[in-house]
Structure 1
Amino acid sequence: MRTLNALLLSAILTGSAVWAPLAMAQSAVADQPIEQRMSADEFRAAGLNKLSASELATLNQWLNGTLKTETAKATQSALQIAKTKAQGFFDFDGKRESIHARLVGDFRGFSQGRVYKLDNGQEWEQSEAAELNVRLTNPKVEMRPGILNSWWMIVEGYNTRAKVRRVK
């Protein structure tokens, strides 16, 4: 499990190492005026050579602001995707929230070592003994954070909970 966690952390950090330079490169491009980003032929073909200096400055200001805003949105979106995919594995910002989903297929109660597949693609393994003897199909479950990075699985309508750890 430690190896899996190390690999996931490495992948996430590698992704961050890729996003940061891309965002910085995008920001550097945003600081260039349009007349430097385009060839002279492209500039003329777009009719931008007809703009006054003031009009060109306004266009550059708008383009730079838009590019910076869209880059910030894309960076934030990528970070949110990484956080969602890592939920249950890593704690990014000190906030761990419950995960609400459905178990895929039949649920035959709790049993230590059993792996539970959720409809969101996550898989959780029961890490300690807990017993609940029921037969349900696709029940709603909650993965609730506990102390010391622990997680508990609760099946809707039942009071018994099982300690679990995310494996996928």
Structure 2
Amino acid sequence: MIAAALCIAVPAFAQQAKIEDRVSAAEFRAAGLNKLSDAELARLNELLARDRTAVALTSVPPAGVTTTDVEARIAQAREEGRREAAADAGSLSSAASREPIESTIVGAFSGFAQGRQYTLANGQVWRQTDGATISGARGNDVAVRVRPGFMGVWWLKVDGYNTQTKVERVR
């Protein structure tokens, strides 16, 4: 009867070991798990399921590993994930501030073109990521506004023109 119960309980217990189901989305990102490929994530879930199954069957940790060791490793991994998430939050890709920027493009401006970089007077450099164009646009030290959009997108608009272009910060 006990063997039958284990045959039913162990697979169900192993299915609950998916890391995506055990942590919040924020914890998942903070631990850096969002950087894993699908194959790597599947392998991690297999390892978790195997280890949970072994613990369920034996109720003792593997030889030479104490509960304190496991807790210390988990705490260390969490701290590393928090540090990495904090570093990512301050990186250019996540743009530390979501406030609009008003500045000027240093030097000559000759319109929009995909891949073109725009250096602003405040030292920031932005690269155009879409195919927007402005026909016949010319000027020196033209005023611009860079504003945040939905889902991390940034938009650059030159004063005097209605067209705006999608940009990403380079530095």
TM-score, structure 2 normalization? 0.46
Q: When the two structures are superposed, what TM-score results if normalisation uses the length of structure 1? A: 0.47
